Amino acid sequence: MNHSNGNEAQPALRIIPRDQHTISRKNISKSALRVLYRLHEAGHSAYLVGGAVRDLLLDGHPKDFDVATDATPEQVKQLFRNCRLIGRRFRLAHVIFGREIIEVATFRGQGEEGDRHIVDGRILRDNVWGSIEEDAVRRDFRVNAMYYNIADFSVRDEVGGMRDLQDHVLRLIGDPEQRYREDPVRMLRAARLAAKLNFHIDEAAAAPFAELGPLLSEAPPARLFDESLKMFLAGHGLKSFHMLERYDLLAPLFPVTARTLKRGDQALRALIEQGLSNTDARVHEGKSVTPAFLFAVLLWGEVRAQAETLLEQGKDLALAWQRAAHRIVAEQSQHVAIPKRFSYAMEEIWALQPRFENRSRKRVFRLLGHPRFRAAYDFLLLRGSESEEIRELGEWWTRAQELPQEQLADELGPSKGKSGPSTGATAAPAKRRRRRGGRRRRGDGASSAD
Ligand code: ATP
Ligand code: MG
């Protein structure tokens, strides 16, 4: 077994000529090629780098193409009209082609001079330019430090990435503990890339997780939200989730979820795993997915528990759910910032759950016409693991959508109570229902609504 650590000599630079690797220009986006050629023609060095090179060598289809160059951001800007300089922590040029953005980063260096800001070992800002060799060693994993050279189509393997790629292993460059202290999000990247690539995390790279995982609580919540989307909405969510659990990284990121799972609630585990695997399936089928649904799944156990407590204390139904939802969202947002439009949708999905239990005619039609019905219904189906009752309830609502609405109205009988004549209670929602009826088929428990 190879216990690599920062003290072990890093493999030496290897240049792999074009006829000895599998990267072909036809798998590189046209926009990325244009950027590379333009930089090259202007006399700069220009490389495709990072995940794109890694994924191309693995026969994958990179979702984004990053470029590294010795040109400064200002020099890049002068070469491209469609260019914007962004970032303070890490200054970059974005070259924009319609919906595709090519990220162009200047090689980062090791020098002490310049705009680098480190506090308690954490890199808060890194804008010191350097050589390609220096740029390579500040990257996270060896497999992420390979450069495809547009000048001669060779691959520069700076620190042994090719070997790791063949061994399906993620090794950190340098001393793992120091690299995680510099940027704790690298721990999540390890778990995410291991899930995405089906690689294992080298022992030395995984060893500090238990001790340093809590540092993730201090990472910027907005950045953790972005990372969470990459973990859970990119087609390998279930596997990422298992990686987080296995490496003790779930608690610092999703303390609420970790807390409820620790109680051993098997139905809740089933709900989460099903929600994640349905989402993965949707992504693979090219369907849309929303963070709201997934976060609603992850936090459900605790929201339900708190709502039940509030109900026992005599709070009114709507208030109990609203208050429970607010509390849990507030707690979670301290770690992973959930944008308002999503947290609002989550709260609605939760708040509609108890309303499925009321099957009076008026309530049924009102719920069917609710704009968030579809997502809430998908959520109800996922909850089938909670009890036989909930499963039957889900089936009832499936059938309610399949029946012609007149027949449903007949079966439900006349509306009771003060709400007036039954025709009045059903007419308006029924109209709305017809309009959206086509979309409302049996769900797969990973709603796309947001
Ligand atoms: P994917 O795009 O498949 O999610 P990736 O490795 O390309 O994975 P990006 O976030 O696109 O991830 O980053 C591009 C490259 O930038 C990485 O391959 C790596 O070389 C470098 N990088 C990204 N984040 C870090 C980090 N936190 N620390 C060091 N290097 C990083
Ligand atoms: Mg990438």
CATH code assigned at 408:
1.10.3090.10
Q: Tell me whether residue 241 is in a domain.
A: no
Considering the domain architecture, whether residues 162 and 264 belong to the same structural domain is answered as no
Q: Are 351 and 238 in contact (CB under 8 A)?
A: no
In the residue annotation, 64 being an active-site residue is answered as yes
| Alpha-carbon gap, residue 243 to 81, rounded angstroms | 43
pLDDT of 117 reads 82
CA distances, 274 to each of 168, 238, 294, 379 (Å): 27, 8, 11, 11
What length is written for the chain? Answer: 450
Q: Tell me whether residue 178 is in a domain.
A: no
pLDDT of 200 reads 96
Q: Is the CB of 135 under 6 A from ligand 1?
A: no
- pTM confidence score: 0.88
Domain boundary among 167, 197, 224: 167
Domain boundary among 99, 134, 167: 167
Q: Tell me whether residue 190 is in a domain.
A: no
pLDDT of 110 reads 83
Q: Tell me whether residue 237 is in a domain.
A: no
List, for residues 21-47, the tens digit of each pLDDT value.
Answer: 999 999 999 999 999 999 999 999 999
Number of domains present in the structure of the chain: 2
In the three-class reduction of DSSP (H, G, I as helix; E, B as strand; rest coil), residue 84 is classed as: strand
What ligand has the least distance to the C-alpha of 219? 1
Q: Which two tokens stand for residue 70?
A: 């010795």
| Alpha-carbon gap, residue 22 to 36, rounded angstroms | 19
Q: Which domain covers residue 149, as residue numbers?
A: 14-167
Contacts of 132 (CB under 8 A, 6+ apart): 45, 47, 68, 70, 107, 147, 156, 158
CATH code assigned at 20:
3.30.460.10
What ligand has the least distance to the C-alpha of 234? 1
In the three-class reduction of DSSP (H, G, I as helix; E, B as strand; rest coil), residue 90 is classed as: coil
Q: Tell me whether residue 363 is in a domain.
A: yes
Give residue 189 CA to ligand 2 midpoint distance, Å: 11
Pick the residue whose CA is nearest to atom 2 on ligand 1: 51
In the three-class reduction of DSSP (H, G, I as helix; E, B as strand; rest coil), residue 132 is classed as: helix
pLDDT of 429 reads 38
Instruction: Point out the catalytic residue in the list 55, 126, 140, 157.
Output: 140
Domain boundary among 167, 199, 232: 167
pLDDT of 175 reads 96
The whole-angstrom distance between residue 72's C-alpha and the CA centroid of its chain comes to 31
> 172: burial class by Cβ within 10 Å (0-12, 13-18, 19+)?
buried
Low-confidence ranges of the chain (pLDDT < 70): 1-8, 112-113, 415-450
